[in-house]
Amino acid sequence: MAEYGEWTRKGATLSDVTAKKEYGVDYTFIVNGISAGKLEYREGNMQGNPWLRVLRGQLGQLITEKFGADYLVQQNRQTELRVINKEMTVMKKKLNELEARKAELEVALMKTED
**Residue 114 pLDDT:** 66
pLDDT tens-digit series, residues 52-66: 999 999 999 999 999
Over residues 20-36, mean pLDDT:
93
User: pTM for the complete prediction?
Assistant: 0.72
Cβ atoms < 10 Å from Cβ of 29: 20
Average pLDDT over residues 84-111: 96
Residue ranges of domains in the chain? 1-67, 69-114
CB 42 within 8 A of CB 8: no
Classified as helix, coil or strand, 13 is: strand
What CA–CA distance (Å, rounded) separates 45 from 41?
Answer: 13
Give residue 96's pLDDT: 98
pLDDT at 1: 67
Angle between helices 69-113 and 56-67 (to 10 degrees): 120
State yes or no: pLDDT of 26 exceeds 80.
yes
Using DSSP's 3-state secondary structure scheme, residue 102 falls into helix
Mean local confidence (pLDDT), 42-56: 92
